[in-house]
Amino acid sequence: MEVVLASRSPRRRELLGRIFSEFEVAPSEVDENLFDKSDPLRFALAAAEAKARDVGERRPDALVIAADTIVCLGKEIFGKPADRGEAETMLNRLSGQKHRVITGVALFRKAENRLVTGYETTSVTFRPLTPDEIHAYLARHEFLDKAGSYAVQEIGDAFVDKLDGDYDNVVGFPVRRLRRLLKEFKAPEATLLAEDFDPKHGWAFGRADGREAFLPGAVVGDEVRARLIGKKPRLFKIIETIRPSPWRVDAACPHFGTCGGCAFQNLDYGKQLALKEAHVRRTLAAAGIDPAAVVVEPILPSPELYGYRNKMEFAFAGRAGELVLGLRERARPGKPSRKKTVVLGRCPIFGPAAAAVFPLVLEDAGATGLAGYHPVSQEGFFRNLVLRETKGPRELMAVLVTKGGPLPQAAAWADRWMREAPNLRSVWRVENDRTADVVDFEGAERLAGSPFIEEELGGMRFRIHPPSFFQPNPRAAWLLIERIVAQVRAWGSRRVLGLYCGPGAIELFLSRTVERVRGIDASPAGIRNAEENARLNGVTNADFAVGFVENAVGAARADEYDLAVLDPPREGLRPQALAGIASLKIPRLIYMSCNLRTFVQDAAHLASSGYGLEKLLAADFFPHTPHFEVLGFLKRWGTL
């Protein structure tokens, strides 16, 4: 295949020579000024694609390679200067500043209508430049055909203080990126139907050559033309949608697709439920549990599709004076997470409270001149803003998470936030110097308001403190709690052991029905919260104790309980816990889990110890995501 470079740049000719020993040069006649410059990355990609298509029209059988390199300070694009005066202005603007060099690359062959695009970004920091240094460089007249008015290979250390990324990209052609794009260009293509979703990532998938083919960006039901870009797992990049899915809908959130909070907002909710229910049945069968031998009830829909979450951990980002808040970006297929923050103005799955609080927090935090924390570089000060909102009385808690260090103005901020933000009842600060990108509430300091907020559920009140666990979708959780209570009444259970009880919600509701209930959890804060909730609701027949489940079941008597309720974390039950539960020979088990895979694994282990899964139902605690909750009812063989 003939190769054509759609550029007259001698630097690009030299760099392309590292890959191809022979190629032709056919410059494009595209006018770059016709493209929208509001987004630098989109501009570079659009210009590169237009150049490739322009030359490709004249050379349909050739592989046309085009590129467009820009320099941008913030979102302002610095192109090639028109004259010396404009070049001097650009260099003065870049002096002492960190800027980005972005190259958009496009590969196009018209004969088969094959297009591949990509980009490379490099950060360049100039040291402060004197007027004499700028004039001396301009006097060499090497600036006219260069984006940003400079060529890095010519100015070198005289101008550049730091360069992060691909040096060749700053020269004008990211050779390593081009090699990857060439590999993608040569990859096989296929027409695929998105049949189902992957519960881990939320990606749609179809089948190619009888094997699973993951299709990030597709909606179940889409028919697409896609190109293979990865083998483990088999990832395909969508080139075009041949026929859109009949279940496609408009996403409610403007950030959908880039934000990592949701995966299915553009999929009809009824179809979301059907896919999740079918996934339950398939997973049972794959684990050797006959779905026909288990009563699998229809999945319970969430009472609310938006505004259902009661807790969100938003992340700060941005340089000093340019703070923003948002959520981590959606995972990129086959690539490690860059921990980049997608800036949010609102969050529909949490509700309107975020839009009310964000401006207040950003105004005060931004005035400090401190930057947002980046979990990769571990630089910056402001880490997270955690918002918790009860869905009954609508009370709001804000937790400001920073790196360690004095922040004397925080108490005054908290007072102002409580005056101006509707329903804000509690404000805290947490200092977190851990390297992990997680919020640790140890050592939380109350800045203003109440030490807790209160949720009302099923006629009971629950106090929520900064570290408290509470089901993220309370109204959906109530649907399962009602089923648990009804089943326990039908069984006539009297003595209940609650394992991984957290704040004790299930145990407290069961206290209305049974003689005695005991909750066990390894978290001292969780047990204190459970005891507080018991006192708040006047419950006297429930007690709670701190302890590891493995130890608690080992110390219990075999005839002490007639029912155990299990609500473990996502990783499920440890082997010691499974063995201990089996040794107690408790007649009935109720197992609640947010991870179907570990639930099924544990159910299979329990089956080998004499427990049969009688009934299973799922509840959609997490609309627009691949996640959901399951509730299993197990009976020990030989018991009534």
pLDDT digits (tens, 9 = 90+) for 63-74: 999 999 999 998
Question: Which top CATH class is 188-248?
Answer: mainly beta
pLDDT beyond 90 at 333: no
> CB under 8 Å to 408, separation ≥6 — which residues?
none
pLDDT beyond 90 at 80: no
Label residue 447 by pLDDT band (50, 70, 90): very high
Q: Do 380 and 372 form a contact (C-beta atoms < 8 A)? A: yes
Q: Do 424 and 418 form a contact (C-beta atoms < 8 A)? A: yes
Label residue 337 by pLDDT band (50, 70, 90): low
pLDDT beyond 90 at 157: no
Name the percent of the chain lying above pLDDT 90: 77
Q: Do domains 188-248 and 273-303+470-636 have the same CATH topology?
A: no
The Cα–Cα gap between 13 and 67 comes to 11
Q: What is the pLDDT of residue 158?
A: 85
Residue with tokens 């003065």: 92
Name the percent of the chain lying above pLDDT 70: 98
Return the top range by mean pLDDT from 130-134, 202-206, 397-401. 397-401
Q: What is the pLDDT of residue 421?
A: 95
Topology given in CATH for the domain delimited by 273-303+470-636: Rossmann fold (3.40.50)
Annotation says 562 is catalytic: no
The whole-number average pLDDT for the span 178-199 is 92
The Cα–Cα gap between 362 and 485 comes to 44
The Cα–Cα gap between 614 and 607 comes to 11
pLDDT beyond 70 at 640: no
Q: What is the pLDDT of residue 435?
A: 87
pLDDT beyond 60 at 151: yes
Q: Which three-class secondary structure state does DSSP give residue 70? A: strand
Q: What is the dihedral of CA 54, 57, 61, 65, to 10 degrees?
A: 0
The whole-number average pLDDT for the span 408-416 is 96
The whole-number average pLDDT for the span 379-397 is 95
| CB atoms inside a 10 Å sphere around CB 529 | 27
The whole-number average pLDDT for the span 474-502 is 96
The architecture that CATH gives domain 311-453 is Beta Barrel (2.40)
Return the top range by mean pLDDT from 35-44, 131-140, 615-624. 615-624
Sign of CA dihedral 39, 40, 41, 44: positive
Q: What is the pLDDT of residue 336?
A: 59
The whole-number average pLDDT for the span 98-114 is 94
Q: Do 590 and 565 form a contact (C-beta atoms < 8 A)? A: yes
Q: What is the pLDDT of residue 639?
A: 66
Spatial CA neighbour of 628 closest among 410, 477, 428:
477
pLDDT beyond 80 at 291: no
Structure tokens at 368: 């400090």
Would strands 516-521 and 495-499 be described as parallel, antiparallel, or unpaired?
parallel
Assigned CATH for 3-185: 3.90.950.10
Rg, C-alpha atoms of the chain = 30
E-assigned strands of 422-485?
424-431, 445-449, 453-457, 460-464
Q: What is the pLDDT of residue 437?
A: 84
Q: Structural domain boundaries of the chain?
A: 3-185, 188-248, 273-303+470-636, 311-453
| CB atoms inside a 10 Å sphere around CB 380 | 20
Return the top range by mean pLDDT from 103-112, 230-239, 437-446. 103-112
Q: Which residue has the higher pLDDT, 48 or 319?
A: 48
Q: Out of 68, 222, 602, 620, which one is annotated catalytic?
A: 68
pLDDT beyond 80 at 142: no
For the chain, the first-to-last Cα distance in angstroms comes to: 76
The whole-number average pLDDT for the span 541-550 is 95
pLDDT beyond 70 at 635: yes
Q: Which residue has the higher pLDDT, 552 or 510?
A: 510
DSSP code per residue over 81-119: -SSHHHHHHHHHHHTT-EEEEEEEEEEEEGGGTEEEEEE
> CB under 8 Å to 339, separation ≥6 — which residues?
328, 374, 375, 376, 437
